[in-house]
Structure 1
Amino acid sequence: MDDCVRVIIDGEPLAVPAFTTVAAAIVMRGAGGTRRSVTGEPRAAFCGMGVCHECRVTVDGRAHVLGCQTLCRDGLSIETMR
């Protein structure tokens, strides 16, 4: 893949096109969601503009990062909250 960056999602490496958001990378990986609600329901990116906060993930050890507002960069470590 030309002009790609490599990220690690839940311990698995993935190459994505440059300028891909974290939320899009998670979808490209085929993951069912980014986190679970307090009642255990699966949650995933919904609005795509940072308003709903459903895309929260841990990025490089920093919790509650909005995946739809964060661009992937080479070596980025992403952990879903599932």
Structure 2
Amino acid sequence: MFRRLSDRKERSVSFAFNGVPTTAREGDSVAAALLAAGHCITRRTPVSGAARGPYCMMGVCFECLVKIDGRPNRQACMVTVAEDMRIEIQDGAVMPGQEE
């Protein structure tokens, strides 16, 4: 579905998605890094558990919510991927004060 342009030479960044070591290009958003690595699901809905993933890629729709370094409700499209970042699928809604 997505593929990289072959004429770009950016440095790599290592991070973990659901505990699996993954790499991205420096400067990618978390959402772009996940899509480029073949991960299309970033969260599940609170009622039915339906899978959701990045949609608008500009911070409007909130479909790409993930946990980043233990913090829930982060918009993957609005956060730049960083070295050793821990990213996890978010299951359902996490209300303020309910963080793990």
Give me the TM-score of the superposition, normalised by structure 1: 0.90
Could you tell me the percent identity over the aligned residues? 34
Bigger mean CA offset, 46-55 vs 22-31: 22-31
Residue segments in structure 1 that go unaligned for 5+ positions in a row: none
1:41 to 10, 25, 50: 50
- Structure 2: how far apart are the matches of 1:5 and 1:17? 6
User: Which AA in structure 2 matches 1:46?
Assistant: Y
Bigger relative contact order (CA 8 A; separation at least 6): 1
> What is aligned with 1:32?
40
1:60 equivalent to 2:34? Answer no
Residue segments in structure 2 that go unaligned for 5+ positions in a row: 1-8, 92-100
Task: Spell out, residue by residue over 1:28-78, the C-alpha distance to the aligned partner (whole angstroms, 9 max, x if none).
Answer: 222231111121211111111111100000000100000000000100000
User: Which AA in structure 2 matches 1:39?
Assistant: S
1:20 to 7, 28, 32: 28
Runs (4 or more) in structure 1 with deviation over 4 Å come to: none
CA-atom RMSD in angstroms:
1.5
- 1:6-17 to 2 correspondences below 5 Å: 6-17=14-25
- Structure 2: how far apart are the matches of 1:2 and 1:45? 23
Q: What displacement does 1:2 show?
A: 5.3
1:72 equivalent to 2:81? Answer yes
